[in-house]
Structure 1
């Protein structure tokens, strides 16, 4: 067993999860973009007796199913933590990613909410810095929590900028 510490787990940090309702939103999006086409191709293959098109439909259905199984795990793998000097965001199952954005480096904190997110009472927080590589998004949290987090991050960022 590897005794080195996990670089994606910060000791003593309480990770905040995304809303479980984000799973439903992502499943709906997957159904629209992949499920409906898979069914349509399957119906067309059956109607016109095209064997090769059945394979296409089966492939689409297999991709749809595999992604539908992974969506809940991806949502659970995401977490964010507001620490003393920065906000840490981690995501991913196979391709894991962690972004740590110091409060003093944040230039913009934005809250966005599309039609589905609004319908489910959720929003996304975007953190932009001067470096495009450290921009980060928290995609699905309660709308009130997003507004509170935006205000808190903005205040912490302004306070850190004044110290520099």
Structure 2
């Protein structure tokens, strides 16, 4: 479908006047470290299998494993760059995805509570995850890879806005 300069084709993911806040690049490192651990374990199995039960198929399996791990390494950066959030007056927007894109809109009045979590790897890298819990069990409003101070600020701000909207103020 041709379009002119004055006419813009929008998708459900292109929102006018929305300034997206990206997550920390440390999330890329976290995902790549997990990928590297998986590669090391997989290669250890391949090497042990090749030593104990020699077959050229072990080399093919090792090469395929390395190719898959390399692709996951590259993909981690792209996936993290696609994650972002935006605070608007009445709701929070969370986007993610490259091939399968997702945009979650959470009205502040629907929030029940805000959860901040960080596992050992996340704490070591200085990042945390904010998860919004709403009345809907199927909402996936999770923002991974935030600096702890940003996660705390967002938790407090969203909680205040949620309470204000719930109270009808």
Fold match (TM-score > 0.5): yes
Deviation beyond 3 Å, 4+ runs, structure 1:
none
1:79-94 matched pairs, under 5 angstroms: 79-94=84-99
Q: Quote the Cα distance in structure 1 between the aligned partners of 2:145 and 2:19.
A: 18
The equivalent residue for 2:48 is 44
TM-score normalised by L of structure 2 = 0.90
Per-residue Cα deviation, 1:98-150 (whole angstroms, up to 9, x for no partner): 10000000111000011111111111000011112223100111001100100
CA separation of 1:88/1:14 partners in 2, compared to 1, >3 Å: closer, same or farther? same
2:133 is paired with a residue whose SS is strand
Instruction: Provide Cα deviations, 1:48-104, integer angstroms capped at 9, x if missing partner.
Output: 432122222222211111111111011001100010000000000100001000000
Q: C-alpha separation between the residues in 1 aligned to 2:140 and 2:168?
A: 22
| 1:117-156 matches, cutoff 5 A | 117-156=122-161
SS of aligned partner of 2:104 = strand
Structure 1 CA distance, aligned partners of 2:40 and 2:144?
25
Q: Give the paired residue count.
A: 163
Give the deviation of 1:45 after TM superposition.
4.6
Alpha-carbon distance between aligned partners in 2 of 1:135 and 1:38, rounded to the nearest angstrom = 31
Unaligned ranges ≥5, structure 1: none
Q: TM-score, normalised by structure 1?
A: 0.93
Alignment partner, residue 59 of structure 1: 64
Task: Could you tell me which runs of 5 or more consecutive residues in structure 2 were left unpaired when the two chains were aligned.
Answer: none
1:132 alignment partner, SS class:
coil
